[in-house]
Structure 1
Amino acid sequence: MSSKLLQVLTLAMAALLAACSPIKVLNALTPSTTFSKTSAIAYGDDPRQTLDIYRPVPAVSNAPVVVFFYGGSWNSGSKDDYGFVGEALASRGIVVVIADYRLYPQVRYPAFLQDGAKAVAWTHQHVAEYGADPAQMYVMGHSSGAYNASMLALDPRWLREVGLSPALFKGWIGLAGPYDFLPIENRDVRPVFFFPNSPADSQPINHVSAAAPPSLLIASTDDTLVNPTRNTGGLANKLRAAGVPVEEFYFNRTNHATLVASIAKPLRWLAPVLDRVTGFIQATDSSRLTWALTLIMVSR
C-alpha cells in the first residue's frame, strides 16, 4: 500500500471513528455471512457469566476453538462489542467463544479469573456440540483480557478449581497484555488488585514454568498504556528461559487499542494480527508437537 493511500485511509477512518463509536463502526462493517452465532449461553449463575459462540459458515468439523477475553481494565467491557473478533476467526475455520465475566466494583482479583476458568470448563464440556474439538483449545485475550488468558494458561490454580489443568490448551495468545505491572500506576486498576497491598501472585510473570503451553505474544511498539518491553518482552524472555515455545511480534502502525481492532476486516491493513493468530493455531494443531525451538519474529 502506498504511503499516500495509507494516509488517506487513515484520515478517512479517523473521521468515521470520531463521528460515532469505534466499536460500533467495526461491528457494522463486519461481514455477517461467514459465521453463525449462538448468544448469551450461561456458564454460571451471575448475569455476567454468559458467553457467545461463533461458528464458521460453512461448518467445519472438529474445528479448533478459541476462548477470547476482551480488555477494559477489569472494570468495563462486553462480549457484544467483539463480534468482529468472532467473525474474523470464524472466517478462518475456528469456533470462537467470547465470554463476559464479572468486573470491578462487583468483584476484585481473583474473581474474574475464576469466571474465566468456568467459561473454559463450560467450553471444554460442550464445544463439541458446536462442531469444535475440545482437544484443540486455545485461550486468547487483549489487554486485561490477555492478562486473564495468561493467568489461566500459566497459573494452574484457577483451572484446578473446575477440575482441569492448563495442559488442556494447545496454546495461548496475548495481545498487548499486562503481565508484570506492580506497583500499579493506573488509578482505575489499583482497587481491582487491592493497591497498595497487591499480591505478588497476581502477576503472570511469576507463574512461568516449563509446563506452560506454547505462547503467541503480540504488542504494539507505540503502546503507551501497557509497556511492551516490560510486559510482552519480559514475559517472552522468561518463557523462553523456561524452554517454552514462544512466537513474539511487534507492530508499529498500531497502538494499544488498534492492535485488536486490526483483526477486523476494515483495519487489517494496519497489521497482520489475524494472520499471525491463525498461523499459530494452524502450526500447533497440525503438528501435534511441542516445538523444540523458540521462534522470535519482530515486524517493523
Structure 2
Amino acid sequence: MRARLLLALSVVLLASGCQRSALLWANRGLPAADASIVYAPASGLSLDLYRPRSGGAGPLPVVVFFYGGGWSSGRREDYRFVGRRLAEAGILAVVADYRTWPASGFPGFVEDGAQAVAWARANAAAHGGDPARLFVAGHSAGAQIAALLGTDPRYLHAHGLQPRTLAGVIGLSGPYDFDVTGGLVPIFGAPAQWPDAQALNFVDGDEPPFLLLHGDADRRVEARDSRLLAERVQATGGSASLLLLEGAGHTAPLVALYDPAREPRVLDAIRRFTDANSARAGLSGQRQAHPDPARKGVEAGE
C-alpha cells in the first residue's frame, strides 16, 4: 500500500507540475510551520521557519528553500513536508514565498529570493541558526532562483552580500541553461535579458559549492542542465557535486524528501553537503578556504 501511495504522489506531481492537491496530500498530518514571518513588507511576502524538534547542539545550518511552479504558481505552505524533512535532518529550514507571474516576471522573483536570503542572514541567529552556514536551495524554477543567487553577484550585492556569503547552493531538477519559449516569453521579458536568466552564463570561479540533484529521465527539465552547470563550476576551479537519479523524473527529489526510504541518497547527499561546507562562509561574508576533496568535482550517480 505504501509503495502504491508513493507512486501515486509521484505520478500526480509529474502530471500536474506540482499541483496543490498533490502537495496537500504530501503535507497531511504534518504540523504547521514553527513561525511565519513577513520578510518583504512592501511586496507582502512571507517565509516559514521549521526548527529541529530536538534543538541540536549549538547554532544550526540554515537552508533557504524556493519552491517550483514554472515561475507562475506556488505557495510556501504547500512545501511544509520539505521544511519538516530538512528540520529533521538538523537544519533550520526557511521556505520563502516570492512573486510569481503575473505579479512579477524576471528578474523580480530572483530579487525576492535575494531579499529572503538577506533576511535569513540578518535573523537566523535569533531563531537558532548560524548565519555563517547559510545555504540556498530550490526545486525546478526555485532551483533556477537559487542558482542565480549563487552565480550572478548583482542580486546579493543589492543587500551588501555576495555569492560567497553562501555556504552552498542545492539545486533539485533545476533549469540552468534553458530555452525561453511559449508561455515563458512574457515571464522573462525582452529577448535581450534572456541570457541573464541562465546561471550557466555567470560561472566564473567565484561561486560557493554546488550540490545538484536530478533525475536522468526528467522530461520537464533535462538532466543536461545539471550536468552542464556542474561541469562549468568544476572547470573554473569550483566545487560541484552531481547526483543523478537513475530512471527518475522531474519530481523525484521532492518525493525523496517526502519519503527518504524511497530514495535515501537525496537526503543523505544534502546532509553530507551541509556538513562538509558549513565552515566555508564566515560571518564577514567571505568563504573560508577549506576544500573538501571527497566532494569536489562532478560525481555522477553516487
Q: Same fold (TM over 0.5)?
A: yes
Residue 278 of structure 1 pairs with residue 271 of structure 2: yes
Q: Which residue of 2 aligns with 1:244?
A: 238
Q: How does 1:131-280 map to 2 (within 5 A)?
A: 131-182=128-179, 184-185=180-181, 187-194=182-189, 196-229=191-224, 231-265=225-259, 268-280=261-273
Which of 55, 59, 62 is 2:55 aligned to?
Answer: 59
Aligned length: 284
Q: How far apart are 1:202 and its partner, in Å? A: 1.9
Residue 26 of structure 1 pairs with residue 26 of structure 2: yes
| Contact 2:33-2:80 within 8 A present in 1 as well | no
The alignment partner of 2:112 has SS state of: helix
Q: Deviations over 1:51-75 (max 9, x none)?
A: 0111111212211000000011110
Q: How far apart are 1:47 and its partner, in Å? A: 5.2
In structure 1, C-alpha distance between the alignment counterparts of 2:190 and 2:247, rounded to whole Å: 34
The alignment partner of 1:58 has SS state of: coil
Between the two proteins, what is the percent identity of the paired residues?
35
Q: Which residue of 1 aligns with 2:285?
A: none
In structure 2, C-alpha distance between the alignment counterparts of 1:253 and 1:90, rounded to whole Å: 28
| Contact 1:48-1:101 within 8 A present in 2 as well | no
The change in CA–CA distance for 1:170 and 1:286 in structure 2 (over 3 A counts) is closer
The alignment partner of 2:231 has SS state of: helix
Unaligned stretches of 5+ residues in structure 2: 13-19, 281-287
Q: Which amino acid letter does the alignment assign opposite residue 196 of structure 2? A: D
| Contact 1:251-1:271 within 8 A present in 2 as well | no
Q: Which amino acid letter does the alignment assign opposite residue 273 of structure 1? A: V
Q: Which residue of 2 aligns with 1:291?
A: 292
Q: Which amino acid letter does the alignment assign opposite residue 299 of structure 2? A: M
Q: CA RMSD in A?
A: 2.2
In structure 1, C-alpha distance between the alignment counterparts of 2:4 and 2:258, rounded to whole Å: 18
In structure 2, C-alpha distance between the alignment counterparts of 1:12 and 1:137, rounded to whole Å: 34
Unaligned stretches of 5+ residues in structure 1: 1-7
The change in CA–CA distance for 1:13 and 1:36 in structure 2 (over 3 A counts) is closer
Q: How far apart are 1:177 and its partner, in Å? A: 0.5
Bigger drift between 207-216 and 289-298 goes to 289-298
Residue 50 of structure 1 pairs with residue 46 of structure 2: yes
Q: How does 1:6-155 map to 2 (within 5 A)?
A: 9-15=2-8, 21-28=21-28, 30=30, 32=31, 37-39=34-36, 41-46=37-42, 48-60=44-56, 61-155=58-152
The change in CA–CA distance for 1:292 and 1:13 in structure 2 (over 3 A counts) is closer
| Contact 1:141-1:149 within 8 A present in 2 as well | yes
Q: Which amino acid letter does the alignment assign opposite residue 51 of structure 1? A: L
| Contact 1:214-1:290 within 8 A present in 2 as well | no
In structure 2, C-alpha distance between the alignment counterparts of 1:193 and 1:172, rounded to whole Å: 23
Q: Which amino acid letter does the alignment assign opposite residue 212 of structure 2? A: L
| Contact 1:146-1:178 within 8 A present in 2 as well | yes
Q: Deviations over 1:165-210 (max 9, x none)?
A: 111111111011000013x23x232211126554312211000011
Q: How far apart are 1:271 and its partner, in Å? A: 4.9
Q: Which amino acid letter does the alignment assign opposite residue 205 of structure 2? A: A
| Contact 1:177-1:232 within 8 A present in 2 as well | yes
Q: Deviations over 1:78-125 (max 9, x none)?
A: 100111111111111110111000011111110111111111111111
